[in-house]
Amino acid sequence: MRPVSIIGVGMIPFGKYPEKDTADLAWPAIKQAMEDAGTDRDDIGIAYCGSVYGGMMIGQRTLTRLGMTGKPIINVENACSSSSSAFHQAHMAVASGAYDVALVFGVDKLSQFGGGTIPLVDEDWEISQGMLMPALYAMRACRYMHETGLTTEQLAGVSVKARAMGAHNPDAQFQKEISLEEVMNARPIADPFTLLHCCPTGDGAAAAVICAGDVAHKFEAAPIKILASDLCTGTYLTGYRDMTVPEITVRGASEAYEEAGVGPEDIDVAEIHDAFTIAELLYYEAFGFCGRGEAIRLLEDGVTSIGGAKPVNPSGGLLSKGHPVGATGIAQITEITRQLRGSCGARQVEGARTGLAHATGGGAMGMDHGACSIHILQR
Amino acid sequence: MAMDQRAGHLEPGHVIAGDAGLHLKGGACASCGALAFPKPAICSGCLSEDIADAPLAGGGVLYAYSVIHVGRRPDLPYAVGYVDLADGVRVFTELTRTDGLCPDMKVAIEISPEAEGYRFNAAPVEAV
């Protein structure tokens, strides 16, 4: 396997575009990433598309608009990890030597459902019994609060921090700060979550161009190195399971750190999967940014805010930037790439050299999550 | 029917009569002994397809819960939770009430006949 670098990224501002086709959400992000990379269409050897609700051949339907046909196009569905899983596949395709340059993008249009919780597959017995993603995360919160003494008010602080970060991101779905009272007093969804503990539904697309490390300089003066590309699946259990320790992310983090040759202390900036407030805290601990039960201290001490020692979700995260599920993984990688380039303006993490992106999801009975993909990048 | 409107309804195949009335019907692997619910066609542990019907424990402890305020059901809010049954199986179920709930409290599984199957949920058996 050979080194691989990111040479271009792009995304459209996340939001609601009910009048657009899914494919029309995606092509502007791809064009932006291609221009950012300085690649021509003929440079791309293979393309991957991550999407959950884009439907059959969403990759092909998108790339026909850009006249990028003939080469292999592969569609990847892995719930919230769809485009990060696609990125993992693209990385393998280039690292193996099979292709020199690959395009990977993610897109989804949740506005087609008109709001509410995302549709799940009711062949799964728990889902047939009414399991909803907010309920799943809410039970994690319930148990974590029971075991550690975390309060609902403290939990609400995660959203306040996310919105404060997103306020500086022109690509975020929400670009306005909110108060603790607004989070606490929003309408209830699944206790202890009010609406503002939950990521919004929305539409979006993001794209990246990756390239073999030894030819990256032809396109980009300062390519971003991919130190680790990890993908794993939750361990299936029929019995008891500790919902306060997300085993899939703990395992993935361990694999990614080993592959990259770095540890949690080396991560300067991270984009992690904060689909609901509790997730951000569980993942601080899963990534080893702090010990068990200490996550709220990191948040309240400002360690994970811009200017802190370990900024997390400077883009605003899923809670503020938005979570068009299939687009999320590449949008996180786009943010980390821009952070490592130093091009993030008011939300820039000064001097960031090594960053991490983490997308996990998929409600599946007996698993913490269906999929988890972690990437560690370095300038 | 919307999936969240079917919550609490069990198809007849998920219920079995046991010593103490109706029980959730799990599967016990005849080869390795693993217990699972719903009863699987194949044991995910040892791949044996010899799975026996197993009446699951009628009670356990509430591991975690949430009161749900959204969705298409007419009876909002309602509560759901994970119950850790005494025989080692975890079951996702609706709870009989939305107040006075606490993790680790004892609950009993209640199953009663209704149209085209059974109604099931978990009822707290002690005060918080």
Check B66 against A135: CB less than 8 A apart.
yes
A290 and A146 share one domain: yes
Task: Tell which B residues from 39 to 98 touch A, by Cβ distance under 8 Å.
Answer: 44, 63-71, 77, 80-82, 84, 88-90, 92-94
Q: pLDDT at position B2, please? A: 46
- Residue A78, in any domain of the structure: yes
Per-residue model confidence (pLDDT) at position A67:
97
Are A193 and A333 in the same domain? yes
pLDDT tens readout for residues B29-81: 999 999 999 999 999 999 999 999 999 999 999 999 999 999 878 889 999 99
The torsion region of residue A288 among left (phi > 0), alpha (psi -120 to 50) and beta comes to left
What is the model's pLDDT at position B8? 84
> What tokens appear for A60 in the block?
């092909």
Residues A187 and A303 placed together within one structural domain of the fold: yes
Region of residue B83 (left: phi > 0; alpha: psi -120 to 50; beta: else): beta
Q: Which of A49, A15, A9 has the alpha carbon at shortest distance from A377?
A: A9
> A239 and A306: one domain?
yes
> From the CB of residue A78, how many other CB atoms can be counted at a distance below 10 Å?
27
Residues of B in contact with A236 (CB under 8 A): 44
Say if CB A209 and CB A11 are below 8 A apart.
no
Whether the per-residue pLDDT at A87 is higher than 60: the answer is yes
User: Is the domain of A179 the same as that of A100?
Assistant: no
- Residue A192 sits in the same domain as residue A287: yes
Question: A137 with A161, same domain?
Answer: yes
What single string gives the DSSP state of each residue in A102-153?
Answer: EEEEEEEEGGGGTSSSPP--TTSHHHHTT--HHHHHHHHHHHHHHHH---HH
Residues of chain A with Cβ-Cβ distance to B92 below 8 Å are 126, 129, 131, 365
**Considering the domain boundaries, does residue A120 fall inside one?**
no
Choice among A91, A168, A197, A323 that is catalytic: A323
Domain check: are A206 and A240 in the same one? no
- Cβ pair B92:A190 closer than 8 A: no
Q: Is residue A21 part of a domain?
A: yes
Q: A141-145, A356-360, A362-366: which range is least confident on average?
A: A362-366
> Does the residue A118 lie in any domain?
no
Q: What is the mean pLDDT of residues A40-68?
A: 98
Using the Cβ of A191 and the Cβ atoms of chain B, whether some distance falls under 8 Å is answered with yes
The per-residue pLDDT of chain A, averaged, comes to 96
Q: Is B36 touching A (CB cutoff 8 A)?
A: yes
Total domains in chain A come to: 2
Q: In chain B, how many domains are there?
A: 1
Residue A163, domain extent:
125-199+229-378
Q: Please determine, for residue A207, whether its predicted confidence score (pLDDT) is greater than 60.
A: yes
For residues B94 and B104, the answer to whether their CB atoms sit within 8 Å is no
Asked if the model's pLDDT at residue A254 lies above 90, the reply is: yes
Chain-centroid distance of CA A305 in Å reads 18
Confidence of residue B1 (pLDDT cuts 50, 70, 90): very low
How much is the average pLDDT of A180-207? 98
Expressed as residue numbers, the domain containing B80 is 3-124
Average pLDDT over residues A164-183: 98
What is residue B19's predicted lDDT score, i.e. its pLDDT? 76
Do A235 and A302 lie in one domain? The reply is: yes
Q: Which of A80, A199, A232, A344 is catalytic?
A: A80
- Distance from B20 to chain A by nearest Cα, in Å? 23
Domain-terminating residue out of A159, A190, A224: A224
Q: Which residue type, as a one-letter code, is found at position A112?
A: Q
**DSSP track, A193-253:** EEGGGBPPP-EEEEEEEEEETTTGGGT-SSPEEEEEEEEE-PPP-SS---TTS-HHHHHHH
**Is the same domain home to A315 and A348?**
yes
Per-residue pLDDT tens digits for B12-26: 999 999 877 999 999
d(CA A303, CA A185): 26
For position A362, what pLDDT does the model report? 86
Evaluate whether residue A27 is within a structural domain: yes
**Is A261 buried (19+), middle (13-18) or exposed (0-12) by CB count in 10 A?**
exposed
What proportion of chain B, given as a percentage, has pLDDT over 70? 94
A308 and A207 share one domain: no
In a domain, A267, yes or no: yes
Cα angle A85-A74-A224, degrees, rounded to a multiple of 5: 50
Residue A273: pLDDT over 90: yes
Is the confidence at residue A137, as pLDDT, over 50?
A: yes
pLDDT band at B5 (very low <50, low <70, confident <90, very high): low
ipTM score? 0.94
What pLDDT was estimated at residue B127? 61
pLDDT band at B7 (very low <50, low <70, confident <90, very high): confident
Residues A20 and A135 in one domain: no
Closest CB from A132, A143, A241 relative to B103: A143
pLDDT of residue B3: 46
Residues 6+ apart with CB under 8 A from A64: none
pLDDT of residue A217: 86
Answer whether residue A132 is part of any domain. Answer: yes
Read off the CATH number of the domain in which A254 is found.
3.40.47.10
Residue A342 within any structural domain of the chain: yes
- Secondary structure of residue A69 in the 3-state scheme: coil
The distance from CA B28 to its chain's CA centroid, rounded to whole angstroms, is: 16
Overall average pLDDT of the A298-304 stretch:
98
Percent above pLDDT 90 for chain B: 80
Q: Is the pLDDT of residue B125 over 90?
A: yes
